Amino acid sequence: MHFKQKVGFLLVIGTLLLVSPLGAMKVVAIADFDGSVDNEEVEENLELPDIHENTIIYNGTINPKFMLGVEVPGLENVVHPYVNEDGQFSMEILMADLEAGDEILFRFGEDGKEPQERTIEVQPAEEGKEVIESRADTSSVEEVIEEGTSVDWPDSNDSIRFDLSTIGDVDGQIYYAREGKTINENTQMEHMDSTSYTALLAPSEEVYEEQMDADAFDYPQPGEKVNIYITALGVTAVIETEVPEDLNVWNEDDDQENGTESDEDQNESDNDDSSEDTENNGAAENNDSNDSGTDEETENTDYNDNADETTDGEETESAVSDSNTNGGFMSPIGWTVIGIVILALVIGGIIWGKKRRNV
């Protein structure tokens, strides 16, 4: 054979070798489809509640022997929810952006059989339809999720947040809803790692007031209940918690209030002290005045005493004068007589002494 003929022959043989296995596989695959999924079996345990425009989490039940695929308008990929042994399934469809009239396709498959399909039509939005629950009893599975979940409210001076640790088989996002409210696209918990999530309920009131209009802000309150929606193990478990009353953010506010009250009390105390000081000063001044009055009274007393002494002296002098005038023992005449007698005795003594010496 010529070289070109050999090359062409090899190409033909190679193509046949490549195509033949693919064709054989296709024939085998076609041959493996042994009819369709049994219609009656599809209806067993089947519950597909209505879906609404505002639905975010959807729960239903199917025959657990089937695989489930869901085609949702607005989602490029087919959703394959986890189906537990009781046929319960739960899925998140927030990103679908549903509109009333859209059709959602449920496909029930089984190995080697043509799948069966069911469709439901999306209903208009309705309050309370954000989470669609099935009528099935899912309490035993929910209990498993609850036992594997813990909620913690860390202390913080500038925010109100909670952390969640749960089982690892979570399907989709975890949502929370404050008391009297429901889940929405803004209430997803932030995924931290494989089993940990966190959610910021609010910055502190002081921080919020600095950044936004506090009058339009529904600030969380101590004791307020919060529901957490966890989609896992084919069900949606609702974990209830509440905002603690001993967070630092509350204590800080109390401290500020107490501080204000303390300041007011301090001011009142200072005012009371000032009043007391004023009263004390007034009392002291009054006491000083009284002391002055007392001193004056003392001086007056001393003066009166002096006056009394002077009076007494005058009375004494008057008495002496009266006594002298009246010729009493201590009169000048009496003293003169005594003096003359003494002088006579002295002179007499001297004369007697001289005479005695002459003898």
Spatial separation of the C-alpha atoms in residues 200 and 182, rounded to whole Å: 16
Q: Position of tokens 């919060």?
A: 226
- Cα separation, 55 vs 92, in Å, equals 9
pLDDT per residue as tens, the chain (359 positions): 554 554 454 444 444 444 444 444 433 333 345 689 999 999 999 999 999 999 999 999 999 999 999 999 988 899 999 999 999 999 998 877 899 999 999 999 999 899 999 999 999 999 999 999 999 999 999 999 999 999 999 998 888 999 999 998 898 899 999 999 999 989 999 999 989 999 999 887 676 666 665 556 688 999 999 999 999 999 999 999 999 999 988 874 444 444 444 444 444 545 555 445 544 444 444 444 444 444 444 444 444 444 444 444 444 344 434 444 444 445 567 777 787 878 878 787 777 766 666 65
Nearest to 175 by CA among 161, 186, 160, 163: 186
**Would you say how long the chain is, in residues?**
359
Residues 195/149, Cβ–Cβ less than 8 Å: no
Provide the token pair at 192: 């931290």
What is the distance, to the nearest Å, from the Cα of residue 270 to the centroid of all Cα atoms in its chain? 32
Question: Strand 190-191 and strand 175-178: pairing?
Answer: unpaired
Helices (H), the chain: 3-32, 39-43, 139-147, 205-211, 248-325, 332-358
Segment 272-295, tens digit of pLDDT: 554 455 444 444 444 444 444 444
SS (H, E, C) 213-225: CHHHCCCCCCCCE
- pLDDT score at 97: 83
The burial class, CB within 10 Å (0-12 / 13-18 / 19+), for 353 is exposed
Alpha-carbon torsion 349, 353, 355, 359, what sign? positive
Q: Is-contact 174 238, C-beta < 8 A?
A: no
Q: Is 359 helix (H, G, I), strand (E, B) or coil?
A: coil
The β-bridge relationship of strands 57-61 and 131-132 is parallel
Overall pTM surpassing 0.75 (yes/no): no
Q: Per the structure block, which two tokens stand in for 120?
A: 């439901």
Q: What is the pLDDT of residue 347?
A: 81
By the 10 Å C-beta count (0-12 exposed, 13-18 middle, 19+ buried), 206 is classed as middle
Q: Which pLDDT score is estimated for 350?
A: 76
The pLDDT of residue 126 is: 95
Query: How wide is the angle at C-alpha 225 spanned by C-alphas 219 and 228, nearest 5°?
Result: 105
Alpha-helical (H) ranges within 92-198 are 139-147
At residue 357, the pLDDT reads 63
